[in-house]
Amino acid sequence: MKRVALYLRVSTDTQTIENQKRELMAVAERLGWTVVETLADEGISGAKGRDKRPGYDRLMQMIARREIDMVAAWAVDRLGRSLSHLVGFLDEINARGVDLYLHQQALDTSTPSGRALFGMLSVFSAFEREMTRSRIMAGLARSTKKSGRPPLDQDKADRIKRELAKGTSINAAARKLKVGVATVHRIKQQMAQAA
């Protein structure tokens, strides 16, 4: 007997999980599954993380503890809205040897055709991860621009030195030459060390 957890989710309080539950229970009966638990997150967006979805959190615990052989859900969007969440979910169940049944997508990874489709999904999820990684690496390569202020040109440095040599205060020299006080202070220190 296949031990199955049903996962049901609706995004708003005005929706109901009853239709999802009725359809999945009919499939379970027809295929001879043992439904060990029905988990639901009602009025919770699929974009929310695991910590905000108690039913989903419990489902993940059951998968980790190998308490079930299959997860059955109405549709892929019931499990999560973001591709990254879904990819993580697929990786987790695959690693634990747990099958997935998605009613709307007609996906059942306990069948040969379902495993083939799941294999393709896994290839696409790996491709998506690699594309994301490539975009990040390309972005890092483009950002070789150094941060901070550009170096002070020698002409301005010489004018600062002349002002300081005349006895102009650091603040007055900075205001007059439109540079930072720290820049003038640094040049004054260099002048003192050179003397």
Catalytically active residues, by annotation: 11
CA distance 62 to 141: 42
Q: How far is CA 122 from the centre of its chain?
A: 18
CA distance 72 to 4: 7
- Residue among 128, 143, 73, 155 nearest 106 (CA): 73
DSSP per residue, 45-87: -TTS-GGG-HHHHHHHHHHHTT--SEEEES-HHHH-SSHHHHH
CA distance 71 to 28: 11
Cβ–Cβ < 8 Å for 75, 105 = yes
Q: Which amino acid type is present at position 98?
A: V
